Amino acid sequence: MSLRYMPGFGNDFETESLQGALPQGQNSPQRPAFGLYAEQLSGSPFTAPRGTNERSWLYRIRPSVKHTGRFKPVTHNYWKTGPDHDEHELPLGQLRWDPLPLPAEGTTFISGIRTITTAGDAQGQSGMASQVYVASNDMVDEHFFNADGEMLIVPQHGGIRILTEMGIMDVHPGEIALVPRGMIFRVELLDGPVRGYICENYGAKFTLPDRGPIGANCLANPRDFKTPVAWFEERDEPTHLKVKWCGRFYQTEIDHSPLDVVAWHGNYAPYKYDLSTFSPVGAILFDHPDPSIFTVLTAPSGEEGTANVDFVIFPPRWMVAEHTFRPPWYHRNIMSEFMGLIKGQYDAKEKGFVPGGISLHNMMLPHGPDAFGYEKATRAELKPVKLEDTMAFMFETRFPQHVTRFAAMSSTLQDDYIDCWSGLKKRFNGTPEGDWS
């Protein structure tokens, strides 16, 4: 299948998979073409300001009321929702996990989601959850939508095909995809078992950060975001639809595919983004700037300058700063940082933090380069160096991230992570030169 996309972030798109299916000049004609049903999908309150008002008009074979029957509760024991305070004995601390093993047969994208942390309150529409997903099988006759939040999907191993109501996206490691709150979708695997990360954002939708003095260019440019064109599936076969709503899961049985939108227009839509198109900005003389300069997407909290969630990446880039300690400095932070590694090495943690792994540095807990990285950086020749073949990321939130029981009890939790700083030496000896022996 050859997929097509429309460029732009937050655009008001229009697309049809059958010529003439999209009404012109109005949204809800008395009798839409092809016998379709007109239906609005709203991602914001009706009276939200124009700049944040999100809605799309869908023209579909059946209205969504036909995509649901009587719901029954189902369980997903490893998918948790904030506020969640699972009972476990893991104390507060800096934490790191090895990659979650690829799954056995029979695991789909939805059944393979494992929550690592939760933050905030989904019912209050603030905060987020950090997840890892693993899957070995396509979602066959299985569809899903999340009423609790939008889902930012970050593949790490293996590509996935996300089939949504409004189009299809192929997403590979090094790319990300976003499925809006309430949108029906299913996931198929492109090349065998997969693993990746998910940020479930309960709050205001992700948007592009303001650039401030940077100006009109660099960072994530709007033209590099891709929204799929209309596509529909006319399949009259039994399937089921699962829903996540206020932290609980429900399922309903239907006799057809719910992915039946023939045409649509609006600005509430899924999208994908290639992280290699991010244009990083950095220090070109001295010092290491704040990691906020690597923000791809931000979900605002209502308090200016304080994000509900930031999605930050650490991409390939040149390091040129003079007389400067170039890796990230040691720090304590009011934000809480969930970090993953897609490929390569992270320059502050060259040992122990591997692709598919996770680290968690909660609010006000100190962290920074390990002893090996510190020694290497303080003795390195300060010539221009390009960091290549690397991609790390961070889900950073204003809320403390509570570790789930699954993550606390996981065999992948590294008991010795705290020891990575044990080799840091006392360099103070009362002289300006210090002791660098």
- Catalytically annotated residues: 288
DSSP 355-410: TT-EEEE-TT--B---HHHHHHHHHS--S-EEE-S-EEEEEEESSPPEEPHHHHH-
CA-to-CA distance for 21 and 38, rounded, in angstroms?
Answer: 11
Q: What one-character DSSP code corresponds to residue 277?
A: G
| H/E run at residue 406 | helix 405-409
Contacts of 104 (CB under 8 A, 6+ apart): 136
Phi and psi at residue 276, to the nearest 5°: -70, -15
Bridge partners for 185 per DSSP: 144, 164
Q: Which of 249, 212, 247, 183 is nearest to 42 (CA)?
A: 183
195 and 133 in contact (C-beta within 8 Å)?
A: yes
Residues in the chain: 437
Cross-strand partners of 161: 170, 188
Q: How far is CA 75 from the centre of its chain?
A: 23
Reported as type and span, the H/E element at residue 40 is strand 37-42
Residue 61 in 3-state DSSP?
coil
> Token pair for residue 360?
């968690």
Neighbouring residues of 366: CB distance < 8 A, sequence distance ≥ 6: 94, 330, 331, 332
Query: Quick check: 390 and 343 in contact, CB under 8 A?
Result: yes
Strand partners, 72: 251
How far is it between the farthest Cα atoms of the chain?
A: 85
Nearest to 56 by CA among 300, 261, 297, 299: 261
C-alpha 407/C-alpha 357 separation (Å) is 12
Tokens of 285: 């003389």
- CA–CA gap between residue 280 and residue 221 (Å, rounded): 11
